[in-house]
Amino acid sequence: MLDFKKEIAKSIANTVELDSCDLYSFIEVPKDSENGDYAFPCFKLAKELKKSPMIIANEIMEKIELDNEIVEKVEVVSGYLNFFINKARLAQEIVNEFSENDEIGKSDIGNGKNIVIDYSHPNIAKPFHIGHLRSTVIGQALYNIYEYLGYNVKGLNYLGDYGTQFGKMIEGYKLWGSEYDIEKDPINQMMDIYVRINNLCKEDENVLEACRDNFKKLEDGDSYCVELWKKFRELSLNEFHKIYNIIGGRFDSWDGEAYIAPKVPEVIELLNKSGKLKESEGAKIIELEDKNMPPCMIEKTNGSSTYAVRDLAAILYRAKTYDYDKSLYITSYEQVLHFKQVFETAKLLGLDEKYINGLEHVPFGMILLPTGKMSTREGTVVKLEDLLNESIQRAQKIIEEKNPELENKEEVARKVGIGAVIFNDLSNNRIKDEIFDWNALLNFQGETGPYIQYTYVRTKSIIEKTGVNLKNVFVEFLLDNDSQNILKLIYNFRNILIQVTDKNEPSILSRYLLDVAKAYSVFYNSNKVIVDDENMKNARVFLTYATGKILKTGANLLGIQMPDKM
């Protein structure tokens, strides 16, 4: 599609002696459309041209030559140049785009770049909690969007399958395994064993010693210990897959901490060579005082590896294996310090700059659950599968009330219920804490997944009645404000996807989809689509079709499926 901003930048460049590249980045999209579609803030040039913004604006205005077919009007308003793009041209650009391309907004700007996304990463023998859900939803959306922009993406499920707690689990299983049926309700049963053995360890030093011994054996490849560990891992994975089957999650690697652990000695060696590795009360650390951080723990007093050093080993491994340009870690903000320490320490590993600069922690806020029936006996841990199923049931109830005749009600309820949870997770700035509120999340008229789906279904039912003819769309029927508002949003779709990847912020796309749905609702409420005039009808049907296509493409990128009817 024609880049209006670039055209404007070029025309400005012809009036001043400056580089058009810079000019491009100065051009803004005004908040209020009264001020045009694009605005150029002349104060940006004041210093360099040694003139006031007003004078610069007037001078540019005098000299500027614009193609009327691209920009139909320019105004000078207090040091700004406001540009109004040609409405018919905008509409035509979009009509062309939709008739030529099926995958709207898709691009190849990421070609040749490798992105790895470390996300979801639940812990073996422990519940998949709501933080892991959020990581999964955010990671998956980013995966889809990067991929759509042509990047080569790898999703890494860095399972928490290693650590001294497995020595304890093995001991607990040895002692009481026969009392449990861990195949039946794996996570709860394993949690039970874990809590029990932990308590026993506190009472009995000998048991603790046995646990340590088990862990050592596990590390040395003792067959009994390894078999048990494998069993815990497999049973946990089966449970996790139930959740991934519901909400999605795309993983190219399931190599967890246990896979990385044997690569730790290489890190220790490199850190030793750097001369920065210090002994401190029997442990090994890297001082980060000059960076205003507590030290990064590299090796515990008992010689075992730490979470941090395994992350360092994973960085080495991923640099080698994936040659990444960006390496993203999607976790809650509780791990901000951990990643700061790890990334700082990683500078000592002698890696190429590129791999250090590519490291990026993508933190997100907490989900605050309503108290009551959803919490399990611990009071804080919620069984995710139950939560997701509850959402489906609630959606089903709403559908039952609204549209009892609907076919495939269960299938639709699934898409709506899950879509609601995913959208809810992605609809606000990720760093914000989020209150989980059933009514808000499933409100068909609110800022929700179901609202996006509902608007999409509405467009779809119109298209089903009329069919769409992309060949004969007469843009003169798309010049009114309601239509233009939608077209401007559609025009911006690709840009929105790029912004998501710039900030690793899927909510930019979620908010955008809400804007599109709202703009369409405004249009729909004040304009008839199916009118007698064939040409007008066809233009409006096109607008409806394009809206539906954007909503569906965008929602799918977020990991949300669209029902055909609801």
Of 318, 272, 319, 322, the residue nearest 298 (C-alpha): 272
When binding is defined by CB under 6 A, the residue of 146, 158, 162, 454 that contacts ligand ARG is 158
331 or 544: CB nearest ligand ARG: 331
When binding is defined by CB under 6 A, the residue of 160, 186, 358, 559 that contacts ligand ARG is 160
When binding is defined by CB under 6 A, the residue of 239, 311, 425, 434 that contacts ligand ARG is 311
For 66, phi then psi, to 5°, come to: -125, 145
| Cβ-based neighbour number of residue 126 at 10 Å | 16
Smallest distance from the beta carbon of 331 to ligand ARG, in angstroms?
5
Using the rule CB under 6 A, give the single segment among 40-48, 116-124, 177-185, 443-451 that binds ligand ARG.
116-124
Check binding of 391 to ligand ARG (CB under 6 A).
no
> How far is residue 307's CA from residue 287's CA, in Å, rounded to a whole number?
17
Using the rule CB under 6 A, give the single segment among 19-27, 69-77, 118-126, 495-503 that binds ligand ARG.
118-126
Using the rule CB under 6 A, give the single segment among 117-125, 368-376, 384-392, 466-474 that binds ligand ARG.
117-125
- The answer to whether 53 and 79 are in contact (CB under 8 A) is yes
Copy the structure tokens of residue 187.
């996570």
- The answer to whether 146 and 153 are in contact (CB under 8 A) is yes
Check binding of 121 to ligand ARG (CB under 6 A).
yes
Of 243, 513, 186, 516, the residue nearest 391 (C-alpha): 243
Neighbouring-strand partners of residue 426: none
For 437, phi then psi, to 5°, come to: -130, 110
Query: Strands (DSSP E) along 112-176, which ranges?
Result: 114-118, 152-156
Smallest distance from the beta carbon of 393 to ligand ARG, in angstroms?
28
Using the rule CB under 6 A, give the single segment among 115-123, 375-383, 432-440, 529-537 that binds ligand ARG.
115-123
Smallest distance from the beta carbon of 51 to ligand ARG, in angstroms?
53
Smallest distance from the beta carbon of 379 to ligand ARG, in angstroms?
19
Query: Strands (DSSP E) along 322-387, which ranges?
Result: 326-332, 359-364, 367-368
Smallest distance from the beta carbon of 329 to ligand ARG, in angstroms?
5
> How far is residue 452's CA from residue 311's CA, in Å, rounded to a whole number?
39
Query: How do 152-156 and 277-280 pair as beta strands?
Result: unpaired
Check binding of 512 to ligand ARG (CB under 6 A).
no
Report, in angstroms and rounded to the nearest whole number, the Rg of the chain calculated over CA atoms: 28
Smallest distance from the beta carbon of 308 to ligand ARG, in angstroms?
9
160 or 554: CB nearest ligand ARG: 160
> How far is residue 500's CA from residue 371's CA, in Å, rounded to a whole number?
33
Total residues at the site for ligand ARG (CB under 6 A)? Answer: 9
Smallest distance from the beta carbon of 551 to ligand ARG, in angstroms?
33
When binding is defined by CB under 6 A, the residue of 304, 331, 341, 507 that contacts ligand ARG is 331
Smallest distance from the beta carbon of 414 to ligand ARG, in angstroms?
27
- The answer to whether 327 and 358 are in contact (CB under 8 A) is yes
Smallest distance from the beta carbon of 339 to ligand ARG, in angstroms?
8
Q: How far is CA 540 from the centre of its chain?
A: 33
| Cβ-based neighbour number of residue 560 at 10 Å | 28
When binding is defined by CB under 6 A, the residue of 329, 477, 512, 545 that contacts ligand ARG is 329
> How far is residue 179's CA from residue 172's CA, in Å, rounded to a whole number?
11
Smallest distance from the beta carbon of 163 to ligand ARG, in angstroms?
10
Check binding of 118 to ligand ARG (CB under 6 A).
yes
120 or 453: CB nearest ligand ARG: 120
127 or 419: CB nearest ligand ARG: 127
CB burial readout 344-367, b (16+ within 10 A) else e: bbbebbebeeebbebbebbbbbeb
Check binding of 219 to ligand ARG (CB under 6 A).
no
Give the residue nearest to ligand ARG (CB).
160
> How far is residue 26's CA from residue 6's CA, in Å, rounded to a whole number?
11
Binding site for ligand ARG (CB under 6 A): 118, 121, 123, 158, 160, 311, 314, 329, 331
